[in-house]
């Protein structure tokens, strides 16, 4: 039998990260390629306790079907939690509980883009989202950075170009893959441009609570009173990604459409996970828990940067994140990045080649992504030493 697949899926390649992660299953491998929370960042005892209590005292409540919008208790707890520092849930908004924020990316493209419609994204951007958009027939129009911030002139050109884009996909805090953060001024100007050209923004903020330095910058969603922003808030990076719980907050009309998409997709998010999350958010001190994670990531990030400073060739440039999980490393132009990544893998050090995160992965790229949240301190020290030697061999 010759299997035939859709044209739209022909543009979507198996995630480069997943492929590299397969190679990293070897316990001797030093992996800076993943994007997982640190093993000691999970509230395992609390999850065990809540789960056992629900299964003992009210099992049918988590074993039965639930409603598509999400568990009422979780919607209430999550609204309170995500609104605790700023108003992301505004007047006229609604929340939908989704199976991870990845599903919000899918619904955005599914509900807002016809085949061939354009999505504007940062270049580079989160591969999972880009693949979700492409798998639903959308075309990506990437906007580059200039001096550490999104190039607003290039963004305006991307909004003026035809066909008119359906939405702008942005990760303003500790971006994946660069670790960069959008300034307050740029957020304001991006929102102003979105309004001027009447294009929606999909603001993806899974890392906002992982700030370990400096003060929080208001989300674009909190600056908008006119229904231009759909906000993706995830509990993956601050509680547990395996539970697959995220919240989409946006204008009611859009969220209602996403709810219909969810009915057709997976009916509702895992009710067991939703009920456990609801109780964790209400019964435990989230700020205390988040402070523990921030400390772990701050120490790991500082260690990685300190070792890079010691061992990397001076012509290698890299971002210095103030939160999140990633550092973006750029080699000099004459060094073949893909060759560098291959040689690193041969020495048992895995990083993700940067072209995988571009709107068009055939574009020239001299950068790669490194993750600091997952590896142990020993692996960070050894891995950076090996990568450092490689920078001196290849530059």
Ligand X SMILES: Cc1ncc(COP(=O)(O)O)c(C=O)c1O
Residue closer to ligand X (CB basis): 194 or 248: 248
Q: Based on the shown chain and the rule CB under 6 A, indicate whether residue 171 belongs to the binding site for ligand X.
A: yes
Residues 173/321, Cβ–Cβ less than 8 Å: no
Residues 235/203, Cβ–Cβ less than 8 Å: no
Please select the residue that binds ligand X; options are 181, 219, 222, 234, rule is CB under 6 A: 234
Contact range with ligand X by CB under 6 A, out of 121-129, 191-199, 328-336, 337-345: 121-129
**Strand 326-330, strand 317-318: pairing:** antiparallel
Residue closer to ligand X (CB basis): 258 or 340: 258
Q: Based on the shown chain and the rule CB under 6 A, indicate whether residue 208 belongs to the binding site for ligand X.
A: no
**What distances in angstroms separate CA 60 from CA 54, 56, 74, 298, one per listed residue?**
9, 10, 17, 41
Contact range with ligand X by CB under 6 A, out of 50-58, 94-102, 179-187, 361-369: 94-102
Contact range with ligand X by CB under 6 A, out of 64-72, 183-191, 193-201, 233-241: 233-241
Q: Distance between CA atoms of 392 and 395, rounded to whole angstroms?
A: 6
Q: How far is CA 237 from the centre of its chain?
A: 9
**Strand 167-170, strand 149-150: pairing:** unpaired
Q: Based on the shown chain and the rule CB under 6 A, indicate whether residue 124 belongs to the binding site for ligand X.
A: no
DSSP per residue, 181-235: ---HHHHHHHHHHHHHTT-EEEEE-SSGGGB-SS-----HHHH--SS-EEEEEES
Q: Distance between CA atoms of 344 and 245, rounded to whole angstroms?
A: 35
Q: Based on the shown chain and the rule CB under 6 A, indicate whether residue 100 belongs to the binding site for ligand X.
A: yes
Smallest distance, ligand X to C-beta of residue 176, A: 4
Q: Based on the shown chain and the rule CB under 6 A, indicate whether residue 236 belongs to the binding site for ligand X.
A: yes
- From 227, 226, 289, select the one nearest 37 (Cα to Cα): 289
Residue closer to ligand X (CB basis): 35 or 137: 35
Helix axes 152-160, 184-196, angle to 10 degrees: 20
Contact range with ligand X by CB under 6 A, out of 218-226, 234-242, 257-265, 380-388: 234-242
Please select the residue that binds ligand X; options are 93, 106, 204, 307, rule is CB under 6 A: 204
Please select the residue that binds ligand X; options are 16, 20, 32, 35, rule is CB under 6 A: 35
Smallest distance, ligand X to C-beta of residue 27, A: 23
Residues in the interface with ligand X (CB under 6 A) total: 15
Q: Based on the shown chain and the rule CB under 6 A, indicate whether residue 128 belongs to the binding site for ligand X.
A: yes
Residues 64/271, Cβ–Cβ less than 8 Å: yes
Q: Based on the shown chain and the rule CB under 6 A, indicate whether residue 241 belongs to the binding site for ligand X.
A: yes
Smallest distance, ligand X to C-beta of residue 249, A: 14
Q: Based on the shown chain and the rule CB under 6 A, indicate whether residue 176 belongs to the binding site for ligand X.
A: yes
**What distances in angstroms separate CA 168 from CA 195, 220, 223, 308, 348, one per listed residue?**
11, 12, 16, 34, 37
Q: State the residues that interact with ligand X by CB under 6 A.
A: 35, 100-102, 126, 128-129, 171, 176, 204, 206, 234, 236, 241, 246
């Amino acid at each position: 039998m010759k299997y035939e697949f859709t044209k739209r899926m022909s543009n979507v390649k198996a995630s480069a990260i997943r492929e590299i992660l397969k190679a990293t299953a070897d316990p001797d491998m030093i992996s800076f390629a993943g994007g997982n929370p640190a093993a000691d960042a999970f509230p395992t005892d609390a999850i065990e306790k809540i789960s056992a209590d629900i299964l003992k005292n009210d099992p049918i409540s988590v074993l039965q079907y639930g409603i598509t919008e999400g568990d009422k208790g979780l919607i209430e707890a999550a609204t309170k939690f995500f609104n605790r520092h700023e108003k992301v849930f505004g007047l006229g908004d609604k929340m939908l509980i989704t199976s991870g924020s990845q599903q919000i990316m899918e619904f955005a493209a599914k509900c807002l883009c016809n085949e061939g419609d354009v999505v504007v994204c940062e270049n580079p951007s989160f591969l999972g989202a880009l693949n979700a958009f492409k798998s639903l027939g959308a075309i990506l129009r990437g906007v580059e950075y200039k001096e550490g911030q999104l190039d607003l002139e290039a963004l305006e050109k991307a909004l003026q170009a035809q066909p008119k884009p359906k939405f702008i996909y942005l990760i303003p805090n500790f971006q994946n893959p660069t670790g960069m953060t959008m300034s307050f001024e740029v957020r304001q100007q991006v929102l102003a441009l979105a309004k001027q050209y009447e294009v929606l923004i999909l603001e993806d903020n899974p890392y906002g609570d992982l700030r370990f330095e400096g003060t929080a910058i208001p989300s674009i969603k909190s600056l908008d009173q006119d229904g231009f922003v759909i906000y993706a808030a995830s509990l993956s990076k601050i509680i547990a990604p395996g539970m697959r719980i995220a919240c989409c907050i946006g204008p009611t009309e859009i969220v209602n459409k996403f709810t219909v998409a969810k009915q057709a997709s997976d009916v509702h998010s895992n009710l067991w996970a939703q009920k456990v999350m609801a109780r964790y958010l209400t019964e435990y001190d989230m700020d205390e828990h988040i402070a523990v994670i921030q400390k772990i990531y701050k120490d790991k990030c500082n260690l990685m940067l300190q070792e890079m400073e010691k061992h990397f060739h001076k012509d290698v440039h890299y971002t210095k994140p103030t939160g999140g999980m990633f550092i973006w490393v750029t080699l000099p132009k004459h060094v073949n990045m893909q060759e560098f990544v291959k040689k690193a893998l041969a020495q048992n050090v895995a990083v993700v080649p940067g072209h995988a995160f571009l709107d068009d992965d055939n574009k020239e790229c001299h950068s790669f992504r490194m993750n600091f949240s997952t590896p142990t301190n020993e692996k960070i020290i050894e891995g950076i030493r090996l990568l450092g030697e490689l920078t001196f061999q290849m530059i």
